[in-house]
Structure 1
């Protein structure tokens, strides 16, 4: 694994976690949205991550073999590992039902369908994304420090 490859892996994770935090913020801001463009209550959104650059070990091995010529030199290295967002999906769990007959979106019985956003779950997800973001910044700083030390050795 090359020096820049290590940085690319962490950078891809930082980008993915940033998007995850943006989606969490969107969920929190729509916690009381009872009507969206399609006329239904807001549904919580989730971010789905996937590995990029091969997936399984067998795929990675096959890619590495294809990228080398007979002398063992790397021909090209475009399958940088890392993480990416494969999809942003809606949570299909049940909506919350609240009795509020004065609400404009209440049904004939006075119940309102509220979004399936749970503030505790969003807080936990936010903390998890923040910790992952911090861990990847720590990795970037460690790689940077190793590069600086390597340059100092070369002087």
Structure 2
């Protein structure tokens, strides 16, 4: 029964990290400059999950998305190219909000599974005692 709590906990930790990544992407959806002030549009981050040793899941890595940066037509922008286009972050707020909702629902499902596992352990202890 201990294993069920371990699996549920790993799921909650992984989904919390997923929510953090989606939040970070949303926070940077308009970021065009790096920390030094150089033009470097923010690139969307993606989380990669993998199974852990106990049969649960873990966040293996956070990587930069393969999706290309979006091109926005704004010939008056300081960073516009010769054709008047500016590269902007490849963050889609709808996708990030969906990621956040899925992470939240998955977290809740894992929390509920952990509660059920805990209840089963308590019942087993009461039956033994």
TM-score where L is the length of structure 2: 0.89
The equivalent residue for 2:76 is 102
The equivalent residue for 2:48 is 48
The equivalent residue for 2:27 is 29
Does 2:9 correspond to 1:20? Answer: no
Matches within 5 A, 1:119-138: 119-138=93-112
Gaps of 5+ in 2: none
Structure 1 stretch 36-45 or stretch 4-13: which is displaced more?
A: 36-45
Q: 1:89: Cα distance to partner?
A: 1.0
Structure 2: how far apart are the matches of 1:151 and 1:14? 25
Gaps of 5+ in 1: 54-79
Structure 1 stretch 97-106 or stretch 121-130: which is displaced more?
A: 97-106
Deviations 1:81-120 (A, max 9, x none): 2111111111111211112233232223332111110111
Structure 2: how far apart are the matches of 1:45 and 1:24? 8
Q: RMSD over aligned Cα, in angstroms?
A: 1.6
Alignment coverage as a number of residue pairs: 127
CA contact (8 A) 1:96 1:113 kept: yes
CA contact (8 A) 2:47 2:59 kept: yes
TM-score where L is the length of structure 1: 0.75
Structure 2: how far apart are the matches of 1:133 and 1:14? 5
Structure 1: how far apart are the matches of 2:128 and 2:3? 21
